[in-house]
Chains A and B, each alone.
Chain A
Amino acid sequence: MTGTIHNRETFLSQIASSLGRSRLSSGVTDPEWKHRPQDQVLQDATPDELVDILKTQCLKIHTSLVITDAKKLPETLHEVVANYGGGPIVTWKDERFSKWGLEPLMKKEWPSQKLEVYEWDHTKGAENIRQAEKANVGITISEMTLAESGTVVLFSDKDKGRTVSFLPATYIALVPKSTIVPRITQAARKLRELHHSGKQVASCVNFITGPSNSADIELNLVVGVHGPVKATYIVIDDL
């Protein structure tokens, strides 16, 4: 469905007139910037070095980081969830969970231990939000991970609700090591490439850097305001 545009020409003509030229509707090409400092940041870092940088940054953003491999992932995830006080748990519906061998944990083990697990299901509408709101833990997967800032990047989708990472009290991001890049520069470029390749950019792309926080009261840092109070990244060695 296409949207609508109102009052554009008068508005833009005023701008052109202020700039002392006629209306510019085409002909602006990608500028050749004189400076590109962003490319130099961590440009030579190896994947292992990027993991180290991410780890150090996590200390500054009140986020726990655990490194594991595909084999130990279920055990690790279970431990982190238990540390956060168990369920209720809400997760995306994502085939990567079963690819990584998490299905027995999520679908059998947890329910048998009376840990409530809810998998996002778009056909159930607003029920998803009710489940996310009462959840203790939200689990999602990072599409791109920024070492410099300690940031996970999420793309929304019908099976990947936006609120899974916001409404629960605590948050866990699964971070495949192969998704780690130096900084937001690489992520921005990837988003642009996706757009140019004809794919629609997700309606919501979240860059999440640790738990929510605020310094609005006397500049005292309070961790956990509207979003999660605690966050853990589980790095999965997939390289």
Chain B
Amino acid sequence: MAMKIGTDHFKERVEHGINDSFMRGAVAGAQNSMGVRRQTATEELGNWEEWRSHGEEIRQHVLANLDYYLEQLSENVAKRGGHVFFAQTAEQANDYIKGVVTKKNAKKVVKAKSMVTEEISLNKTLEEAGCSVVETDLGEYILQVDDHDPPSHIVVPALHKNKEQIRDVFTKKLGYQKTEKPEELAWHAREMLRQEYLTADIGITGCNFAVAETGSFSLVTNEGNADLVTSLPKTQITVMGMERLVPTFEEMEVLVSLLTRSAVGQKLTSYITVLTGPREEHDVDGPEEFHLVIVDNGRSKILGGEFQSVLQCIRCAACINVCPVYRHVGGHSYGSIYSGPIGAVLSPLLGGYDEYKELPYASTLCGACTDVCPVKIPLHQLLHKHRQVIVEQEGKAPISEKLVMKAYGLGAASPMLYKLGTKIAPAAMNPFTVGDRISKGPGPLKAWTEIREFPAPNKERFRDWFKNREKGGKES
């Protein structure tokens, strides 16, 4: 699966999302409960703003010195016997990993949840090379069993599915015979996946934070799947976005604390695993061979530009969990594995404006995302910035908007036309007006009024009102 999900256009995706009442209920419920948990977990620290500022300064420092820290990281990984591959493109990353799989003659890969491997379509590459790929995160596993349904949330990928749907998928695909109780479903997945861990040739993980000073990297989970993925197969491959690192363990701990509180309202998740190199001599579990693949895939184009701060992201999804737009349209509407406010900023940068030019407009610019971001990414300002770039540099504003702006430009440039326009506007809009609202607008207003009302032009023009006021309001 690439970053892009589905082939429908933006409006069709949104239409589909808005009409999926289960999904909307699930998302609203999730936002409510995760929002409260996040708030409790951050407030109990008493000085959350200082934590955010610290998170921000760490991330900014790393980005400003990224080449230095990546060099240090790679040296230290190699010192501990690991192999490091720097991949500028998705293709390079996939080719390298495919090379390892071929060399090991691997038939089965177990994977712990990783957004960057989704981004580069790693599963597809491996399956084409004749290797089966098993996702082990419960949510990802459910989606995979259901014919690769795309994820709709970066932390809770199967959020859009209810337990009855999951039961039916398990029954159909896995011969499951029990009820829709989450405990029974999870237990079934546990039993199925145990065998997969024990028989897999290669384990593949993402990376929450790499540590430059020691060549280590950390994995944050609640299920414990990443631990089995990194303990049992003989070869391990870890794929990381190039910005996901910190100088030392001391900064790692701060970002892990910010991540777990912001993502799920936990002080720490059940498993935080810090791995350094392959297993040591005489160790029985852990991989004999370790590969770290560091992926650029468009990130260096963001670096040094006006969108650099988006690379501070630690993938906690706090912005998604407070977004009023995400709440209504759900994750699939974004057409990208990165959804919500962070997705609306990141997807156009990684996937291009041609594909994702609507996303920066799928926001009310309310700024709730910016307020909760644990590393202080000014998300709503970046969305606004995208709009500026789309209109001014890319010339990609919607045609109706262009026409309206052009007409307004003409009208507003000539006092005669402006006067005429403001005079006839109420009459022209009259057939569409109910009370002081337009709910079924014509032409360029149509797209707006399809989903909300537009205020009708005031019957009294400002200039008339002002003139009248000068006369002491006698005419009214």
Does A pair with B? yes
Binding site for B on A (CB under 8 A): 1-8, 10-16, 18-20, 23-28, 30-31, 33-38, 40-41, 57, 61, 120, 122, 124-126, 128-129, 133, 146, 148-151, 156-158, 161-163, 166-167, 183-185, 187-189, 191-192, 195, 200-220, 222, 224-228
| Cross-chain pairs A/B with CB under 8 angstroms, 29 sampled | A1-B81, A2-B81, A3-B277, A3-B290, A5-B86, A11-B87, A11-B242, A11-B294, A19-B64, A19-B66, A28-B68, A34-B54, A34-B57, A37-B47, A122-B284, A128-B284, A146-B268, A162-B231, A163-B231, A204-B230, A204-B231, A209-B267, A213-B270, A217-B166, A219-B30, A219-B33, A226-B190, A226-B223, A226-B224
The 6 closest A-B pairs by CB, nearest first: A227-B224, A216-B139, A11-B86, A188-B253, A158-B282, A212-B224
| Interfacial chain A residues near B305, Cβ < 8 Å | 18
Given A5-B84, A15-B303, A37-B50, decide whether A203 and B286 contact each other with a Cβ distance below 8 A.
yes
Given A25-B68, A129-B285, decide whether A6 and B85 contact each other with a Cβ distance below 8 A.
yes
B81–A15 CB distance below 8 A: no
| Interfacial chain B residues near A15, Cβ < 8 Å | 66-67, 70, 242, 300, 303
A7–B66 CB distance below 8 A: no
A161–B284 CB distance below 8 A: yes
| Interfacial chain B residues near A226, Cβ < 8 Å | 136, 190, 193-194, 223-225, 227-228
Q: Give chain A nearest CB distance to B238 CB in angstroms.
A: 13
Residue from A7, A37, A189, A202 in contact with B51 in the complex, judged by beta carbons closer than 8 Å: A37
Residue from A28, A35, A38, A161 in contact with B65 in the complex, judged by beta carbons closer than 8 Å: A28
Max chain B Cβ within 10 angstroms of own Cβ: one of A3, A30, A216, A217: A216
A129–B232 CB distance below 8 A: yes
A24–B285 CB distance below 8 A: no
Compute the total of residue contacts between A and B using a CB distance below 8 Å. 313
| Nearest opposing residue in chain B for A2, CB measure | B78
B162 contacts the other chain (Cβ, under 8 Å)?
yes
Q: Give the CA-CA distance A31 to B54 in the complex, in Å.
A: 12
A217–B67 CB distance below 8 A: no
Q: Give the CA-CA distance A124 to B65 in the complex, in Å.
A: 46
| Interfacial chain B residues near A7, Cβ < 8 Å | 85-88, 92
Q: Give the CA-CA distance A126 to B231 in the complex, in Å.
A: 12
| Nearest opposing residue in chain A for B301, CB measure | A18
A4–B83 CB distance below 8 A: yes
B278–A203 CB distance below 8 A: yes
Residue from A35, A122, A216 in contact with B53 in the complex, judged by beta carbons closer than 8 Å: A35
A163–B285 CB distance below 8 A: yes
B29–A30 CB distance below 8 A: no
Q: Give the CA-CA distance A4 to B83 in the complex, in Å.
A: 5
B208 contacts the other chain (Cβ, under 8 Å)?
no
Q: Give chain A nearest CB distance to B138 CB in angstroms.
A: 4
B168 contacts the other chain (Cβ, under 8 Å)?
no
Q: Give the CA-CA distance A133 to B51 in the complex, in Å.
A: 41
Q: Give chain A nearest CB distance to B133 CB in angstroms.
A: 17
Q: Give chain B nearest CB distance to A152 CB in angstroms.
A: 11
Q: Give chain B nearest CB distance to A159 CB in angstroms.
A: 9
| Nearest opposing residue in chain A for B62, CB measure | A31
B57–A227 CB distance below 8 A: no
Residue from B65, B252, B270, B294 in contact with A208 in the complex, judged by beta carbons closer than 8 Å: B270
Q: Give the CA-CA distance A15 to B198 in the complex, in Å.
A: 40
Q: Give the CA-CA distance A33 to B227 in the complex, in Å.
A: 32
Q: Give the CA-CA distance A208 to B88 in the complex, in Å.
A: 35
| Interfacial chain A residues near B187, Cβ < 8 Å | 224
